[in-house]
Chain A
Amino acid sequence: MPASSAPPGSAGTGEASRPALWAPVLAAPYLALALAAALAPLLVVCALLVLCVLAERWAGRRADGARWLWSAQLMPHVRWLVRWSLVVTALARADLPAGEAGDGAGRLAPALAATVAAVLLTRSCWVLALARGRARLREQVRWQGIVVDGVEEGPAPVREPGFLTRTPTGPDAVLSVEWVLVAGLAAGVLVEREAPVWAAILLTVGALALLLARLLMFERACRSAPPAEVLPRVVAALERLQPEVVVYFSSPASGSYALRVWLDTLRRLRNRTVVLLREPHHLQTLDLTGLAVVVLPLAQQVEDAQVPSMRVALYPTNVVKNNHMIRLPGLQHAFIGHGDSDKAGSFSPVTRVYDEIWVAGPAGRDRYLAAQEGVRPEQIREVSRPQLAGISRRHAATPAPGVLPAVLYAPTWEGFYEESDYCSLADPGLQAVRAMVASGRVRVLFKPHPASGERREDVASAVDEIEALVAQPPHRRVPDDPMALYDAMSEADVLVADVSSVLSDWLVSSRPYVVTNPRRLPADELHERFPTTRGGAVLSPGGDVLEIVDEALGADRLEHSRYQLARYLLGDVRDDPIRDFVDEVAAFVDRADAARAARTPTTDAVPTNQEAG
């Protein structure tokens, strides 16, 4: 059988899903409509069509059915074609009872058939225009906070089309014209005239014409700022700006937080800085005011935008696309990370490619060197953690009547890979929050990682349940914003968290914390593998969280080891870590300048990543 458009995620071992139990609810009106198309009066056909549409609405809200229908190649527009073909058939029937819709069979049926075809073809135009337009927009060069041809931001964002609405909708929205058509048909039957049907068809054609015009405008808009024209102007603006520092960032939208933690620090840099983004979605997810930003989606654009003033590049994440910048000669590259933790990602072997690796304190240095993955001691610099400037340093509240101590539960996410899964949400996190909420002795502040539940379904449902539990005061869900997390850290008396950078950040506060141990590692092994856990109590699945929290708020026997650990992880206590970081960047630029001066000039061509053998 010729394959139709593939259902989403059908590649590879996608076992066929089963139809949902409610499938008959959707199938029955269609069957009735098919029989009615052959037998029943037009008004009944109209009524059954409405029933089909209502059943569709009902089924559309159920996520479990869509996949089955997709894999059976019965997408919403295919079902739309089925029900409207049956209406056309009914209208085309020669044996319409006299009087019903006049003698409409003569011209109405072809007109309705043509309208049905026009709706589907317009939808196809929409689908194609959207695919083409998005492909163009993905390659668009953008800028913000830097003057290109007298404009501080551009190109103007392109809004995706909607059907008769300003807000973007999916192409299936056009199928809703069926309400007009069915109303016209029913009215025609009731008043026994053709005019309402013709009016409905005209209205539909008008709406389609509007939509087509909107699609054309969308196409034009997508074409309006071709990267080939914008890029030279952006490069010219960069040559005027003469940035010395490039902050290079690439991630999915859910990973924007890794740059957000740096924004306050970057705004204070003394050296001229440009933020180079590889994806436009960060412009929506981040507040980048006060920074010069360019978006360069293609590797070639990154190469073309290298201006001679650039001395150093800073990388908050270790993504594959960093290679597109690292391969450019003449710069010094530093990995600055976005949180210092014991996670496997913090000592990826790939890190050895950078000229320098900036860590918070001696712990980061030891971690890279112990990994024995080719990172050399002279590559590593301890620069503290400037983002922690805002976390207050104080002792935990002593329990007092009327004041509930605050416990911040800030788990990480489950990671892209099994190996890097340290997430406690499913177990013991959910149990612990249930116990704490039920006890009424503490207030729970809940801050999951923004990506929690992306890979594991049990994690996603744990997030949902905990969010429901903390919806009631005095408990609270902390918003998905690193700054909100730092505020919550200032407010909380005890932290419960997974192996993640949250632990080392918390150490600034000098207050007690609890480390989760979802993999039930022996405590020795946990402390040995993840030094950040050494200053905290350990909560394994089945453990009694209340007992641990009470000890932390009371005797707090771990206070001294926490202090030792903070020195080890975060370096010496600094008055203004941001200022120190600003100095570090300036010194790095000077080092890069010196390295450039020492270098013998070469006449060779610029290398690219594709060796042509």
Chain B
Amino acid sequence: MSRPAGFVLGGLYLLLGVLALRGTVLGFALILAAVAVEEELLVLRRSPVLRWLGAAHLGGTLRLLLRSALMLVLVARQDDAPGGLLLATVVALVVHHALRTAGLRAQDTIKARTVWPLRWRHLAVPGLAVPADAGALSHLRMLGPHVVVNLDLVVLAGVVLSLSRSSLGWVVVASALVALADVVVVLALRARAQALPARTREDVVSAVREALETVAPRVVIYFGGPPTSTHALNVWAPVLERLDVPVLVLVRQREHLERLASSRLPAVWAPRATDVEELAVPSLDLAMYPTNIVQNNHLLRVPGILDVFVGHGDSDKAGSYTPLSRIYDEVWVAGPAGRDRYLTADVGVRDEQVREVGRPQLAEIAWTARGSRRPDGPFTVLYAPTWEGFYATYSYSSLADMGPQLVAALLAMDGVRVLVKPHPASGSVDPRYATAARAVERLVREAGPPHGVVSGLTGLYEAFNEADMLVTDVSSVVTDFLWSGKPYAMTNPADLLDDEYRARFPSSAGAALWAPDLATLRADVEDARTTDRRRAARDAVARYLLGPVGGDPVEPFVAAVHEALARANSRNAARAGLRQQ
């Protein structure tokens, strides 16, 4: 898509050069118009060609100057031009480019005074209010620059008329009009630029800091990572909204600010390490880290804050117990399983560093009392496979190798309703998984109602509540679903021996295991809808992974936050005491 656009633009400029050197006036005018249109189209489409040209140092200004240079060559080539036409064109273009440069600089100033190096949501930063650009001139400021870059076409029109009528007057009039238009746009832009106060980066950062000091957050949740990973932050948003102490969300990439799923938590995007240091206001006592990224160190190294790794899903996956966890003061896990996982992995995390806080995100999942299932309706089975992961050690996904067959087998059962929800990142590393996700979704759509495809994160928990049974891979989805008390099956795409599988992945203790041949699928679903012989094992593993089940899962978490704040306070007091000595 972008490559042809690049060739078209290059070809047009080449043609423009040939026509200029041959002195072909009308052809040149035609092609210059085409160049102008193509350039505008590239800008409108935000084409990667523009970025590529910039990287090759063939930027917009250079190309505009090239257009004008070729116009001069064209005029120089005219034998029968009226006297002084070349001089008039030179003067017109010099004035035009000088004024365009002035406009460009005013635009830069406006941008520097309105687009801040930090961004925020749900936070009043009084010092940085930008007066709205209103009035008749605002439209001029918006469209003017686009008109200005193409005013060389008007100069060319004057040249063409002067040549055909053998009179210098036309080009003079055209040049005067162009200069007038340039001046009007420059003045409009400068008026706006001067109306805006100049601010340095430091001004902006300290204004945001002051705003934060007013909010006085005691807890900060700190997040960074690739733009597609915001879900790991968003699982915490509803929980943090229920905390009764002020909370700050600090993100390191702008996308996370835009995608944060909260309508009221104060959030700031701080791109630089120094911003993080500056925004770590003294009221902060507790920092929560949902992921293990190296950027965490930028807040970790700020003294006086209790640092807690909270994760974003509790699972048997390898990433849940890295030796890096020692970098935090504490590691919060859901239940005894999380503690055991860290201690058996023996990565240096000490028993007293680990705290069990339950899984507060599960508040949305309904705990199903025994026998409460509607006996008359269809038995709903939810298939929610994980994605392929960044590294080979993480390939737990059944989607590519088992997904389509598994869904087809479920659809073939009588009285079974199938819901599918592939992980949103499926296929982002390995295209096979994207294909499989599409295949699975197609199967379900073709089967028609009551079967269906579920999307979005809240969609998952809603689907949990809708489902009577879950089929999934080794992932945090298992742990979350255990909260519901309902039966589940786990896939075994590598065809490990059952005993080995259950030893490696304790969350599977209450699960039916499905190998790639799916031999037990039918019998396991039948058992789940009738006898449910795995119920006792399931309840035990739920308590092991999640702690006590059945109450409001947010309450133990809120209590844990308050205890942590108290610990942070006493530590700070102890430090102050030692300083006094």
- Nearest B residue to A3 via CB reads B60
* Least Cβ–Cβ distance between A89 and chain B, in angstroms: 4
Chain A, range 499-530, C-beta contacts under 8 Å to B: 528
Q: Which residues of A contact B231 (CB under 8 A)?
A: 613
* Least Cβ–Cβ distance between A173 and chain B, in angstroms: 14
Residue from the set B298, B312, B348 with the largest chain A CB neighbour count within 10 Å: B348
B578 at the interface (CB under 8 A from A): yes
Chain A, range 326-379, C-beta contacts under 8 Å to B: 326-329, 344, 347-350, 352-353, 355, 369-374
Chain B, range 249-265, C-beta contacts under 8 Å to A: none
Cα–Cα, bound, A77→B54 (Å): 13
Residue among A37, A320, A374, A606 making CB contact with B318, cutoff 8 Å: A606
Q: Which residues of B contact A157 (CB under 8 A)?
A: none
Mark interface residues in A9-23 (1 if CB within 8 Å of B CB, else 0). Answer: 011111110000000
Cα–Cα, bound, A462→B201 (Å): 25
Q: B56–A4 contact, CB under 8 A?
A: no
Q: Which residues of B contact A349 (CB under 8 A)?
A: 300-303, 305, 307
Q: A5–B112 contact, CB under 8 A?
A: no
Chain A, range 596-610, C-beta contacts under 8 Å to B: 599-600, 602-610
Q: B145–A93 contact, CB under 8 A?
A: no
* Least Cβ–Cβ distance between A110 and chain B, in angstroms: 5
Q: A607–B54 contact, CB under 8 A?
A: no
Q: A370–B59 contact, CB under 8 A?
A: no
Q: Which of B133-141, B323-331, B507-515 contacts A (4 or more CB under 8 A)?
A: B323-331
Mark interface residues in A387-411 (1 if CB within 8 Å of B CB, else 0). Answer: 0000000000000000000000000
- Nearest B residue to A124 via CB reads B56
A3-B54, A78-B65, A610-B391 in contact; A13/B318 too (CB < 8 A)?
Answer: no
Mark interface residues in B312-323 (1 if CB within 8 Å of A CB, else 0). Answer: 110101111111
Q: A612–B300 contact, CB under 8 A?
A: no
A190 at the interface (CB under 8 A from B): no
Q: A605–B393 contact, CB under 8 A?
A: yes
Q: Which residues of A contact B301 (CB under 8 A)?
A: 318, 348-350
A236 at the interface (CB under 8 A from B): no
* Least Cβ–Cβ distance between B210 and chain A, in angstroms: 16
Q: A92–B21 contact, CB under 8 A?
A: yes
Q: A124–B58 contact, CB under 8 A?
A: yes
A81-B66, A81-B69 in contact; A600/B344 too (CB < 8 A)?
Answer: yes
B380 at the interface (CB under 8 A from A): no
* Least Cβ–Cβ distance between A552 and chain B, in angstroms: 29
Q: A5–B59 contact, CB under 8 A?
A: yes
A128 at the interface (CB under 8 A from B): yes
Mark interface residues in B100-121 (1 if CB within 8 Å of A CB, else 0). Answer: 1101110111001101110000
Q: A127–B56 contact, CB under 8 A?
A: yes
A90 at the interface (CB under 8 A from B): yes
Q: Which residues of B contact A171 (CB under 8 A)?
A: 57
Q: B327–A323 contact, CB under 8 A?
A: yes
* Least Cβ–Cβ distance between B130 and chain A, in angstroms: 13
B122 at the interface (CB under 8 A from A): no
Cα–Cα, bound, A78→B68 (Å): 13
A228 at the interface (CB under 8 A from B): no
Q: A613–B476 contact, CB under 8 A?
A: yes
A94-B78, A113-B17, A604-B504 in contact; A613/B313 too (CB < 8 A)?
Answer: yes
Q: B17–A117 contact, CB under 8 A?
A: yes
Cα–Cα, bound, A171→B58 (Å): 13
Q: B69–A82 contact, CB under 8 A?
A: yes
Q: Which residues of A contact B60 (CB under 8 A)?
A: 1-4, 73
Q: B39–A2 contact, CB under 8 A?
A: yes
A92-B76, A94-B76, A608-B393 in contact; A73/B504 too (CB < 8 A)?
Answer: no
Q: A109–B73 contact, CB under 8 A?
A: yes
- Nearest A residue to B306 via CB reads A374
The count of residues in chain A whose C-beta lies closer than 8 Å to any C-beta of chain B is 88
Q: Which residues of B contact A16 (CB under 8 A)?
A: 105, 108-109, 112
Q: Which residues of B contact A12 (CB under 8 A)?
A: 112, 115-117, 201
Q: A124–B57 contact, CB under 8 A?
A: yes
A607-B321, A612-B319 in contact; A13/B101 too (CB < 8 A)?
Answer: no
Q: Which of B213-221, B288-296, B364-372, B463-471 contacts A (4 or more CB under 8 A)?
A: B288-296
Secondary structure dominating the interface of B = helix
A437 at the interface (CB under 8 A from B): no
A74 at the interface (CB under 8 A from B): yes
Cα–Cα, bound, A141→B108 (Å): 41
Chain B, range 460-519, C-beta contacts under 8 Å to A: 475-476, 504
Cα–Cα, bound, A10→B329 (Å): 39
Q: Which residues of B contact A604 (CB under 8 A)?
A: 318, 345, 504
Q: Which residues of B contact A347 (CB under 8 A)?
A: 303
Q: Which residues of A contact B89 (CB under 8 A)?
A: 38
Cα–Cα, bound, A130→B66 (Å): 25
Residue among A323, A355, A612 making CB contact with B348, cutoff 8 Å: A355
Q: B319–A610 contact, CB under 8 A?
A: yes
Chain B, range 157-186, C-beta contacts under 8 Å to A: none
A131 at the interface (CB under 8 A from B): yes
* Least Cβ–Cβ distance between A382 and chain B, in angstroms: 19
Q: Which residues of A contact B572 (CB under 8 A)?
A: 372
Q: Which residues of B contact A417 (CB under 8 A)?
A: 274, 277
Residue from the set A10, A35, A78 with the largest chain B CB neighbour count within 10 Å: A78
* Least Cβ–Cβ distance between B400 and chain A, in angstroms: 15
Q: A329–B104 contact, CB under 8 A?
A: no
Cα–Cα, bound, A607→B37 (Å): 53
The count of residues in chain B whose C-beta lies closer than 8 Å to any C-beta of chain A is 109
A229 at the interface (CB under 8 A from B): no
- Nearest B residue to A114 via CB reads B17
Cα–Cα, bound, A397→B104 (Å): 65
Q: A328–B107 contact, CB under 8 A?
A: no
B29 at the interface (CB under 8 A from A): no
Cα–Cα, bound, A583→B445 (Å): 70
A419 at the interface (CB under 8 A from B): yes
- Nearest B residue to A91 via CB reads B76
* Least Cβ–Cβ distance between A574 and chain B, in angstroms: 29
Mark interface residues in A542-565 (1 if CB within 8 Å of B CB, else 0). Answer: 000000000000000000000000
A2-B43, A124-B56, A326-B324 in contact; A605/B21 too (CB < 8 A)?
Answer: no
A75 at the interface (CB under 8 A from B): yes
A1-B100, A85-B72 in contact; A353/B105 too (CB < 8 A)?
Answer: no
B579 at the interface (CB under 8 A from A): yes
- Nearest A residue to B56 via CB reads A124
Mark interface residues in A98-112 (1 if CB within 8 Å of B CB, else 0). Answer: 000000000001100
Q: B69–A612 contact, CB under 8 A?
A: no
B200 at the interface (CB under 8 A from A): yes
A1-B103, A3-B54, A349-B307 in contact; A607/B329 too (CB < 8 A)?
Answer: no
B355 at the interface (CB under 8 A from A): no
Mark interface residues in A75-89 (1 if CB within 8 Å of B CB, else 0). Answer: 101100110011011
Q: Which residues of B contact A2 (CB under 8 A)?
A: 39, 42-43, 50, 59-60, 63, 149
Residue among A74, A328, A602 making CB contact with B323, cutoff 8 Å: A328
Chain B, range 180-221, C-beta contacts under 8 Å to A: 198-201, 203-204
Q: A86–B108 contact, CB under 8 A?
A: no
Cα–Cα, bound, A342→B54 (Å): 47
A34-B94, A38-B90, A127-B56 in contact; A608/B322 too (CB < 8 A)?
Answer: yes
Q: B76–A90 contact, CB under 8 A?
A: yes
Q: Which residues of B contact A323 (CB under 8 A)?
A: 294, 297, 324, 327
A260 at the interface (CB under 8 A from B): no
24 pairs, CB–CB < 8 Å, chain A vs chain B: A2-B60, A4-B59, A5-B55, A16-B108, A39-B87, A85-B66, A92-B73, A120-B58, A123-B57, A124-B57, A321-B294, A323-B324, A327-B292, A329-B323, A329-B347, A350-B297, A353-B326, A370-B575, A374-B329, A607-B321, A607-B322, A608-B318, A610-B292, A612-B386
Extra 18 A-B pairs, beta carbons < 8 Å, given A16-B112, A113-B17: A10-B108, A13-B203, A14-B108, A35-B87, A74-B61, A86-B72, A89-B72, A124-B56, A347-B303, A348-B301, A349-B305, A349-B307, A371-B575, A374-B307, A599-B346, A607-B323, A612-B390, A613-B232
